[in-house]
A and B are shown apart, each in its own frame.
Chain A
Amino acid sequence: MVQPDAARAVPLEGLLALDLTGELGWLLGKILADLGATVLKIDPPGGDPGRCQPPLLHGPAGSVGAAWVAFNAGKQRTDLDLAVAGDRARLVELAASADFLLESEAPGRLDELGIGWAVLSERNPRLVMTSVTPYGQDGPLAYVPASDLELMASGGAAWLTGDPDRPPVRVSIPQAAAWACANAAVGTLIAHHHRRLTGRGQHVDASSQCGVLPMLVHAPTFWEMARVNPMRAGAFLVGRNVNGARMRNIWPCRDGFVTFAIYGGSAGRLSNRALVEWMAEKGMAPDFLLAIDWDTFEVATMTHREVENMEAAIAPFFLTLTKREFMEQTEARRMLGYVVATAEDIAADPQLKARGVWTDADAPELGRAVRLPVGWFRLAAPLQATQ
């Protein structure tokens, strides 16, 4: 069994990060705190203006946004009024002995206040300062405001998502800031590595629009190499078939949705074969499915009609299953596929429980505990060779 506590490590213990960020930059300091750094969140008097973004959580001590709790857990907090000279001097003092300073103001804002990179790095040449902004520190859009929706749009992710007969949609809850921060954390720690070798810090400039681009994966490559402009296809997967056939990837089941697709390749063929065997056991496999030679089966060359026929046979079968049955049987039968999980499904997932992912932590703003996902940086327990 897993012993999550023994598996946790604090590789950045002893490093100090000053965190001046708003919503756009919260996760960056959180990632450093997850790794054991001391992260001091510095808020204006009265608190971070983003802390009351809904949905709100309530407790005996007050109310605060779920996102604020999620992305500021594990940080220490203090107030400084950067409009006041004394507090700015205090910040410069703190930064003189800090390892990292994280911020997400509009480009140039800290310079205007006399606490920008030039000033801070002169006092502390070892400092690594990371700025997370919508579009980066320079360029034609550097001063243009953007929320998650505009970043999902200008970063291309919205173009790829949603039903064809309705407008493109954003991806889940706000993600642009989180992706920007996860990537900014990579840049911040690369700068830290360089500092360790040279003693010199630098100003890391992270763009949230660029942070969205990894979501596009190879979609821009389709344009560049094949002059194909892939676009939203609802629950279907495109781009795996030379005839342009779309593969359904999300299917309704008895109590929600599951994800499964007809794939090629060795793993896909095994999975397809296992599904048809399962359907046959329930008397729901039509003859043409039973007749397919899976060893030579290729998804890439199927026609639209062939794909449609297969999917029309599979859909009614999935409608007879609950998510739980689907999960248990796909595992037992070594098929590719999972449930389309809700928060309730995730909360109940035995894998996450076994890995000790959930922890109850005190949220002083609420005066009660909240349950958080923790421990993604996990040292492996030695595995025995399996035969």
Chain B
Amino acid sequence: MSATIEDTGAARLGERPAALADLRVVEFGGFAAGPAIGKHMADHGAEVIRVESRLRLDGFRTNYPPYKDDQPGIERAGMFAITNNDKLGVTLNLKSAAGLGLAARLIERADVVIENFTPGTMERLGLSHEVMSARNPGLITVSTCNQGATGPHAQRAGFGTHLTALSGFAHLTGWQDRSPALLWGPFIDYIAVAYGAVAVLAALEMRARTGRGCHVDLSQYETGIQLLAPVMIEHFGTGAVPTRMGNRHPTAAPHGIFPCAGVERWCAISVHDDAEWTRLRAALGGATWAGEESLATAEGRKSAEDDLEGRISEWTRVRERVEVVEILRAANVHVAPVNDMRDVFEDPQLIHRRAFRRLEHPVIGPHSVPGPAFVLPETPDVIASPAFTLGEHNRYVICDLLRVDEDEFASLEAEGALQ
């Protein structure tokens, strides 16, 4: 039994129809890997219901700064707020039979289940895709975990930072003469999130053709490897073990990040052919060093790269970042400011693209959530509501959607099924 447009939350709230307004999604799990897939769906109008429990809170509510006013609190966590806008929240105690029963009834009425528990957890709860699809043959389940649900390492739990290293990104990041550098946050989770949303949508296409749902076993590790496929193909093909090279490029030079005037102001500059070098040389003011004939070719610039970087730094470090960017953009040379975390809110292009959306959260107050990286002109995203508070939509989900009457709701609460 699929959700229809009439009984989804989007219609209930009187919002305009959106691309995914015909879908109901139920999420189990926490952190980023599952819920950020659900965010893609919610951003485009699906009714996304997150099942939480007071007995086992999402780590993004409890262990992940920043918090509003630096005070930890389950409704004060930024990471939870930016991952769960425009969703409905219900608390169910999955350790109680009644709570499990409600979860099962919810899945019966869902198009999609997204879960990122350790493999085997949904099975243990009796909520496996196999069991639930017998009652709801159109059900699509996407299970996302570190390394996939099968194989010798299926049960290895782990955080995104570690998995990012296992899948090769860290080794390739930083300076060759130093330790690999850490990538910010659970980097690889967000690769698997995009692939996970693609998987949900592909499974919906398959269901539209066959009438049947399916269960997708998404390995975050494997999605990361997809993005490092060039490195692996090179390794298998030549035996090479590629390593980190700072900001350098196999052929382009200069290709680096240069200091500008002030504290921690930087800009990226790269030159991809000889004509671009000629333009850069002119923009630098035609300094004598830059006129050397050996620098006219890519090979020449590459072999003089240390010197070249030093000379360009001398020019950039006495200029404001905005000036460097303006001069080089006017000369049609590849250049960009290294935006810091304040700059990303003030970048004119990101503002134009509405990269961040301001929402009013009842506890956090006004704050920004990320918008999609794409624009759909016919079906714009419908980002409008802040993340739910714990159990905020219990009554809607349990009474309205699952048609539980008030007396039964009260007794479910009393017996702890809604913990």
A145 to B279, CA, bound (A): 14
Answer whether residue B179 sits at the interface, using C-beta atoms and an 8 A cutoff: yes
Binds B, one of A40-48, A222-230, A302-310: A222-230
- Are B266 and A380 closer than 8 Å at their CB atoms? no
Answer whether residue B306 sits at the interface, using C-beta atoms and an 8 A cutoff: no
Binds B, one of A274-282, A283-291, A350-358: A350-358
A179 to B373, CA, bound (A): 9
- Are B169 and A171 closer than 8 Å at their CB atoms? yes
Answer whether residue A263 sits at the interface, using C-beta atoms and an 8 A cutoff: yes
A209-226 interface (Cβ within 8 A of B): 209-211, 213-226
- Are B44 and A190 closer than 8 Å at their CB atoms? yes
Q: For the A-B complex with A232-B181, A235-B180, A383-B120 known, give 5 more contacts whose Cβ atoms are closer than 8 Å.
A: A191-B376, A223-B341, A257-B165, A354-B152, A378-B218
Answer whether residue A24 sits at the interface, using C-beta atoms and an 8 A cutoff: no
- Are A229 and B233 closer than 8 Å at their CB atoms? no
Closest residue of A by beta carbon distance from B358: A224
Interface 0/1 of B226-251, CB less than 8 Å to A: 11111111111110111110110111
Q: How far is the CB of B191 from chain A (nearest CB, A)?
A: 7
Binds B, one of A62-70, A77-85, A86-94, A101-109: A62-70
Answer whether residue B408 sits at the interface, using C-beta atoms and an 8 A cutoff: no
Contact residue range for chain A? 35 or more
- Are B19 and A191 closer than 8 Å at their CB atoms? yes
Known: A196-B208, A220-B345, A386-B124. A66 touches B234 (CB 8 A): yes
Cβ of A373: which chain B residues have Cβ within 8 Å of it? 222, 225-226, 229, 232
Cβ of A264: which chain B residues have Cβ within 8 Å of it? 63
Interface 0/1 of A369-387, CB less than 8 Å to B: 0111101111111111111
Cβ of A354: which chain B residues have Cβ within 8 Å of it? 150-152
A244 to B29, CA, bound (A): 29
Closest residue of B by beta carbon distance from A208: B373
Task: Give the size of the chain B interface in residues (CB under 8 angstroms).
Answer: 161
Cβ of A267: which chain B residues have Cβ within 8 Å of it? 157
Closest residue of B by beta carbon distance from A256: B171
21 CB < 8 A contacts A-B = A55-B238, A149-B256, A153-B257, A161-B182, A162-B181, A166-B175, A169-B257, A173-B242, A183-B194, A202-B379, A216-B344, A220-B368, A222-B66, A223-B341, A225-B68, A225-B364, A343-B231, A343-B235, A346-B168, A347-B232, A384-B123
- Are A202 and B223 closer than 8 Å at their CB atoms? no
Interface 0/1 of A110-153, CB less than 8 Å to B: 00000000000000000000100001111111001111011111
A306 to B63, CA, bound (A): 19
Cβ of B126: which chain A residues have Cβ within 8 Å of it? 385
Give the residue of A57, A221, A236, A250 whose beta carbon is less than 8 angstroms from that of B237: A57
Answer whether residue B109 sits at the interface, using C-beta atoms and an 8 A cutoff: no
Known: A202-B377, A218-B82, A347-B232. A146 touches B258 (CB 8 A): no
A311 to B143, CA, bound (A): 35
Known: A156-B340, A371-B233, A383-B128. A169 touches B174 (CB 8 A): yes
Q: How far is the CB of A201 from chain B (nearest CB, A)?
A: 8
A334 to B187, CA, bound (A): 23
Known: A11-B203, A207-B373. A171 touches B179 (CB 8 A): no
Known: A157-B184, A336-B157. A220 touches B179 (CB 8 A): no
Closest residue of A by beta carbon distance from B227: A178
- Are B335 and A12 closer than 8 Å at their CB atoms? no
Cβ of B372: which chain A residues have Cβ within 8 Å of it? 183, 186-187, 210
Report, nearest first, the 7 A-B pairs whose CB atoms are least far apart. Answer: A217-B185, A187-B374, A139-B352, A189-B201, A70-B229, A150-B336, A182-B194
Q: How far is the CB of B272 from chain A (nearest CB, A)?
A: 7
B86-112 interface (Cβ within 8 A of A): none
A343 to B231, CA, bound (A): 7
Give the residue of A66, A151, A200 whose beta carbon is less than 8 angstroms from that of B336: A151
- Are B332 and A341 closer than 8 Å at their CB atoms? no
Interface of B, secondary structure class, is mixed
Interface 0/1 of B169-203, CB less than 8 Å to A: 11111110011111111110011011101110111
- Are A189 and B161 closer than 8 Å at their CB atoms? no
**Residue among B156, B197, B227 having the largest count of chain A Cβ atoms under 10 Å:** B227
Known: A149-B247, A210-B350, A380-B129. A215 touches B184 (CB 8 A): yes
Give the residue of B20, B130, B172, B270 whose beta carbon is less than 8 angstroms from that of A172: B172
- Are B20 and A193 closer than 8 Å at their CB atoms? yes
- Are A343 and B242 closer than 8 Å at their CB atoms? yes
Closest residue of A by beta carbon distance from B374: A187
Answer whether residue A160 sits at the interface, using C-beta atoms and an 8 A cutoff: yes
Cβ of B247: which chain A residues have Cβ within 8 Å of it? 149, 167, 169-170
Give the residue of B151, B161, B163, B267 whose beta carbon is less than 8 angstroms from that of A237: B161
Q: How far is the CB of A336 from chain B (nearest CB, A)?
A: 6
Cβ of A233: which chain B residues have Cβ within 8 Å of it? 182
- Are B66 and A153 closer than 8 Å at their CB atoms? no
- Are B66 and A225 closer than 8 Å at their CB atoms? yes
Known: A161-B181, A337-B162. A265 touches B373 (CB 8 A): no
Known: A216-B344, A217-B184. A209 touches B169 (CB 8 A): no
Closest residue of B by beta carbon distance from A152: B268
Cβ of B147: which chain A residues have Cβ within 8 Å of it? 351
Answer whether residue B264 sits at the interface, using C-beta atoms and an 8 A cutoff: yes
Closest residue of A by beta carbon distance from B41: A190
A158 to B258, CA, bound (A): 12
- Are A231 and B162 closer than 8 Å at their CB atoms? no
Answer whether residue A204 sits at the interface, using C-beta atoms and an 8 A cutoff: yes
- Are A229 and B341 closer than 8 Å at their CB atoms? yes
Answer whether residue A184 sits at the interface, using C-beta atoms and an 8 A cutoff: yes
Closest residue of A by beta carbon distance from B125: A385
Binds A, one of B8-16, B209-217, B383-391: B209-217
Answer whether residue A154 sits at the interface, using C-beta atoms and an 8 A cutoff: yes
Answer whether residue B347 sits at the interface, using C-beta atoms and an 8 A cutoff: yes
Closest residue of A by beta carbon distance from B192: A376
Answer whether residue B338 sits at the interface, using C-beta atoms and an 8 A cutoff: yes
Q: How far is the CB of B184 from chain A (nearest CB, A)?
A: 4
Cβ of A312: which chain B residues have Cβ within 8 Å of it? none
Known: A220-B368, A355-B148. A240 touches B257 (CB 8 A): no
